[in-house]
Structure 1
């Protein structure tokens, strides 16, 4: 299992743009260790508020780097 930590601040307008496919179906994030990761926006849906997506997250993947879980650690 691999763990990646990252922070994100995405406005509601940006979330809507991605969610409805105008920005693609995934976002590229930079983890705190410097790795760039591609994450499907559908995994972020539980964390969408009227203000967008804001916070620090922990992404867990399996040995093949496939999505396992996403956890919000802290709000901004």
Structure 2
């Protein structure tokens, strides 16, 4: 599945321990690489709907608007 130009696809595996540090305020952003190699920085808060007891694991598509601001995130796996 190819992402449109205003979207990126990411494979994320984030442990519950790492998420806990973010929620405690020691970090506010996630730095990840998309499947096509782009470096993406986004607020950890957009992942909240996907958090489980073991953390976050899956393939996601993040969509941005024309000004590169976050618009939506979807699990695609």
Q: CA deviation at 1:73?
A: 1.0
- Residue 33 (structure 2) pairs with residue 63 (structure 1): no
RMSD between aligned alpha carbons?
Answer: 1.0
Taking the aligned partners of 1:44 and 1:20, their CA distance within structure 2 comes to: 15
Q: Which residue of 2 aligns with 1:53?
A: 56
Q: Normalising by the residue count of structure 1, what TM-score does the alignment of the two structures yield?
A: 0.91
In the alignment of these two chains, the number of paired residues is 73
Taking the aligned partners of 2:46 and 2:9, their CA distance within structure 1 comes to: 15
Deviation per residue, 1:7-58 (Å, 9 max, x gap): 0101100111112111x10110101111111110110000000010100000
Where 1:16 maps in the other structure, the secondary structure is: helix
Structure 1 segments of 4 or more deviating over 4 A? none
The gaps in structure 2 that reach 5 residues or longer are none
